[in-house]
Amino acid sequence: MDYQPTIGLEIHAELKTATKMFCDCPNDPLGAPPNANTCPICLAHPGTLPVPNKKAVESVIKVGLALGGTIAKESKFDRKNYFYPDIPKAYQISQYDQPIVSGGALKIFTEGQGQRDIRITRIHLEEDTATSTHDSKDGATLVDFNRSGVPLMELVTEPDLRSAEEVAAFARSLQSILRYLGVSDADMERGQMRIEANVSLNMGTKTELKNINSFSAVEAAVKYEIERQREVLEKGEKLVRETRGWDEVKRRTFSQRGKEQAHDYRYFPEPDIPPFHPAQIFDLDEMAASLPELPAAKSERFMREYGLSAKQVAFLVADKRYADWFENAISEVATTDNSTDSTPEKRPLELLYNYFASDLFGLLNQAGKDFSELKITPAHFADLIDMVSDGKIGSRQAKDLLAAMFERGDDPGELIKELGLESITDEGAILDVVRNVIASNPKPVSEFKAGKENVIMFLVGAAMRQLKGRVNPEKLKELLRQELSS
């Protein structure tokens, strides 16, 4: 029997605000000692009253507008009742039947399914819980309330996803949008973005996968769960509606508890916060007009304006910092004409991308540094590309120069003199080396004269070694041909 996976997602993202959702405590759950960023409100002392964070509401509206959702005319907060040590009030302030955003869609692309729109059900706002640490030595559970009350956006999709690959693609796309909007860092490893997947086959009994903290893990977990459910059904057994976790070591899902339904939480309106009307608080038209260029639009523009491939653009647009830095470098390059010649030396944008994505990121990875720690400015990087494009330095010199720029952040024009990396322009000196190479390699010379054209690259390499890479290889090849033909 053919089983069709049906997958819906619930994605939580911590919002990047100065203070918590309902109090003035700093929103910095990881940067302070345990329980330092707390007050009577986020510790649920009797008699305290919550005051909603306007910036958090604005952030959710921005996400809704970016995804084409409908902003509620009236929205309200609700109490979600349950008891657990990380929620001191014994209820969480969330939203139930009147979320801030309804509808919308996110476009994703996978190799298997191509491009598809995944419908958004709702986007609402709630408060995060405290962090629990289970001490394996004595069985105690330690609770840190620094995260308690942090603004948390929850996005719920329709069950439109059909594979683990689509789940990962959706999560990556959403993370990118949140970062472009500046509403969340959405770092999964730091718990700032958390994914729950509801998986079923043929619209049957679903299981919820929780506590997944990386894109690779969510893809592996969903893939495993699809196969697990298929095996259960093929045996003629029944699936159980439950919540399952992901064991990263054993690479399998495991049962945690029975799956709760909405009525289990006994939702009712939050009596301490009145309903609110977003359009009376914010200028929604102005907010929509001020949204930044989002990843999909930027991708299309980069391919159209700069002639870059879809794969190249995907790398750049994945992180707004990469795209902005790269585009700033483009603005500083002397010429951006990519169509004048077929050789790399005449394709500055292709050259710019290759040195950026390969060489520069190779240095970052080797040094174990984040992009934010980069000392090289886009203008200096563009100067380096101009030197290579104009034939002033060869690729070997460029790599040495880039390494020095990476360490010091200095102007390449000054560094090239200091390090003695200027190209040798004295044709007489180059000819002396060319003639020496020809005299020292009679066999390759004979093969070239017999018609083996590719042998000339061996001679170019030999000459380049003697010249320590400080000459344009095309110029060197031209001089070798002249000497071999004379």
- Distance between start and end Cα atoms, the chain: 76
Give how far Cα 376 sits from Cα of 204, 332, 355, 439, Å.
55, 13, 13, 44
Q: Which is more confidently placed, 313 or 114?
A: 313
β-sheet with 78-81: strand ranges across: 91-94, 78-81, 268-269
Query: Residue 1: is its pLDDT beyond 80?
Result: no
pTM (global) more than 0.85? no
pLDDT of residue 295: 95
- Asked if pLDDT for residue 343 goes beyond 60, the answer is no
- pLDDT per residue as tens digits for the range 151-179: 999 999 999 999 999 999 999 999 999 99
What average pLDDT score do residues 240-248 get?
92
Q: Could you tell me the CA-to-CA distances from 465 to 416, 437, 460, 473 in Å, in that order?
A: 19, 10, 9, 11
Q: What is the pLDDT of residue 277?
A: 98
Kindly give, in sequence order, each residue whose CB lies less than 8 Å from that of residue 447, ignoring residues fewer than 6 positions away: 455
Q: What is the pLDDT of residues 46-81, one digit of tens each?
A: 999 999 999 999 999 999 999 999 999 999 999 999
How does pLDDT run across 113-134, given as a tens digit for each residue? 888 999 999 999 999 999 998 8
Domain edges within the chain: 5-288, 295-418, 427-485
Architecture (CATH level 2) of domain 427-485: Orthogonal Bundle (1.10)
- Give the phi and the psi of residue 161 in degrees, each rounded to 5: -80, 145
Helix axes 320-332, 295-306, angle to 10 degrees: 30
Query: What is the b/e burial string over 262-280, where b = at least 16 CB atoms within 10 angstroms of the residue's CB?
Result: eeebebeebeebeebebee
